[in-house]
């Protein structure tokens, strides 16, 4: 299956954007106080509550899993060819 280069580029770009969101939400959750304390003091990070950061982290994490699967499927033949040549040379 021949996939246009722009499709792979779009997948890669989406992966980068989703990775940044998941990373930022992970940092926000690491810095966040526990659930009850965060609600009591009205904690926010970049204007978003702890519950919103949790939702972002989970949903974008699931999106990232899907994009990684698509990325691997699209590049599987190339990966197999590189591994074959690497082991053939050694």
- For residue 1, what pLDDT band results from cuts at 50, 70 and 90? low
Pair 27, 57: CB distance under 8 Å? no
* Distance between CA atoms of residues 66 and 51, nearest Å: 23
The CA-to-CA distance between both ends of the chain, in Å, stands at 29
Pair 58, 79: CB distance under 8 Å? no
Query: Is the pLDDT confidence value at 90 over 80?
Result: no
Q: What percent of the chain has pLDDT over 70?
A: 97
Greater pLDDT, 40 or 15: 15
- The 10s digit of each residue's pLDDT in 2-27 is 888 899 999 999 999 999 999 999 99
Element spanning 45, H or E: strand 44-45
Cα–Cα separations (whole angstroms), residue 85 to 9, 31, 73, 74, 89: 25, 45, 20, 19, 6
Query: Is the pLDDT confidence value at 71 over 90?
Result: yes
């Amino acid at each position: 299956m021949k996939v246009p280069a722009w499709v792979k580029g779009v997948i890669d770009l989406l992966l980068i954007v989703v990775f940044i969101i998941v990373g930022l939400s992970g940092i926000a959750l690491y810095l966040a106080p526990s659930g009850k304390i965060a609600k009591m003091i009205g904690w926010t990070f970049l204007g978003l509550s702890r519950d919103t950061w949790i939702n972002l982290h989970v949903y974008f994490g699931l999106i990232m899993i899907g994009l990684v699967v698509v990325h691997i499927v699209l590049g599987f033949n190339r990966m197999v060819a590189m591994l074959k040549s690497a082991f053939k040379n050694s």
